[in-house]
Amino acid sequence: MKKICVIGTGYVGLVTGTCFADLGNQVTALDVNEEKIRDLQNGIMPIYEPGLAEMVERNVRAGRLSFTTSYKEGLKDAEFAFICVGTPEGVDGEADLRYVRAAAESIAENMDHPLIVVNKSTVPVGTGDWVADIIASKQPKPIDFAVVSCPEFLREGVAISDFMHPDRTVLGSTNPRAMEAVAQLFLPLRAPIMMTDLRTAEMIKYASNAFLATKISFINEISIICEKLGADVIEVAQGMGFDKRIGPHFLQAGVGYGGSCFPKDVKALAYMAQTHGMHPQLLTSVMEINEFQRRHVALKLHDLLGEIQGKTIGLLGLAFKENTDDIRESPALAIARHLLEQGAHVKAYDPEAMENSRRAVPEIEMCPDAYKVAENADALVVVTPWNEFKQLDMVRVRDSMKQPILVDGRNIYEPDTMKSLGFIYRGVGRGYDGNGIERSAAD
């Protein structure tokens, strides 16, 4: 059993700390947000993540997981301090490191014994050296420490599974002994552990996310071409995915990527390149395609409805993806804001993200279920592919709408089935001809 302090109780910190506790370690999760810590101490989760509440409760009850706002308490006897704070997007796309700096300074001011500081936040290349300099300069008296980079690769909605069954663990440091000590924490997961230097480890995180975002933007651009040429992007992606060099993952055409990672990480990597005199053409195109994909859904509505002003548009889904309540960079909210600006009345339902969305865009009418969203709507847009939307009574949906117009931004329905039910259906890349007229399978 190791003693671990995890700094930050957002998605990464709370999942990381809870999973380490579940592996038998003694974990103190620390956050400067007093309300969040008070809620966690009372069993109230700050985020929705499947299975997390139950795991937190189990480990708190077992005495392996506790919560505090005190660095002195959190670092007491700790062998490892994991920095898991947010690095939001800055003004020019750079990563904002104010929370990382605050964590490093507080560690330095409160540590009273040798410590391994593990940076799990997504940070620009070179941040590990910077954190080490901050700690060294802010210590009241010199105490040995080492900095190890350990980038996270957790996907919201399946974060616990990703932690417990990782594809790999990446570690970087100038201190081999410290890196080996961190590696021991991850050995029970029985996954490959790659050890490298600090900057390479930091770059692996950015390069991984940028590549996945590129795959998403690539298939979205292909989907628009498919619409014009009469091909079906789902079958195109399937045919591509059989090639082992390409693979089937992240080739689902839709409304573009969102969330807390891909948008800001691609921008941050492009910013790093630009500040070093480079022109990141591919990254720029990835971002431009992603932005257009959201507008593309709105353009479909314009084509089908003509004038948007005064129309009632229903949105199925508000979170950036299913199985989360996270609305950061959500395509749904971007689409909602555009429609509201055009004078539409926007209704919406999401199983988990309505409270967050209500605070972000209060003009949206929140509905108790998908059927209320459909009532008297001129058009319905699927934006988040929650499983419950795939099993709706579509006859009931059709009959309650003012016009049976369905824009399927996630391709969760079959075009022929929706057409046979009387819907005017538009998916993403589902085989339109050059005039934007949908083809049937018989064509």
Catalytic residues: 261
| Contact indicator for 202, 208 with CB cutoff of 8 Å | no
Single out the residue of 290, 350, 294 nearest to residue 326, CA to CA.
350
* Extended strands (E) in 38-168: 65-68, 80-83, 115-119, 145-149
Single out the residue of 105, 111, 59, 58 nearest to residue 80, CA to CA.
111
**Helix or strand holding residue 290 (H, E):** helix 281-305
Q: Three-class SS of residue 234? A: helix
Q: Three-class SS of residue 194? A: strand
Give the rounded distance of the alpha carbon of 100 from its chain centre: 20
What is the C-alpha to C-alpha distance for residues 435 and 229, in angstroms, rounded to an integer? 9
Single out the residue of 281, 246, 284 nearest to residue 267, CA to CA.
284
**Helix or strand holding residue 371 (H, E):** helix 370-374
Q: Record the tokens describing residue 379, joined without a space.
A: 């058009």
Q: Record the tokens describing residue 103, joined without a space.
A: 């964590």
What is the C-alpha to C-alpha distance for residues 245 and 188, in angstroms, rounded to an integer? 30
Number of helices and strands (H, E) in the chain?
18, 14
Q: Three-class SS of residue 308? A: coil
**Helix or strand holding residue 55 (H, E):** helix 52-61
Q: Record the tokens describing residue 49, joined without a space.
A: 């993540």
**Helix or strand holding residue 315 (H, E):** strand 312-316
**Cβ–Cβ contacts within 10 Å for residue 396, how many?**
12
Cα-atom radius of gyration of the chain, to the nearest Å? 24
Sign of CA dihedral 258, 344, 299, 237: positive
What is the C-alpha to C-alpha distance for residues 117 and 136, in angstroms, rounded to an integer? 12
| Contact indicator for 237, 250 with CB cutoff of 8 Å | no
| Contact indicator for 151, 175 with CB cutoff of 8 Å | no
What is the C-alpha to C-alpha distance for residues 254 and 416, in angstroms, rounded to an integer? 19
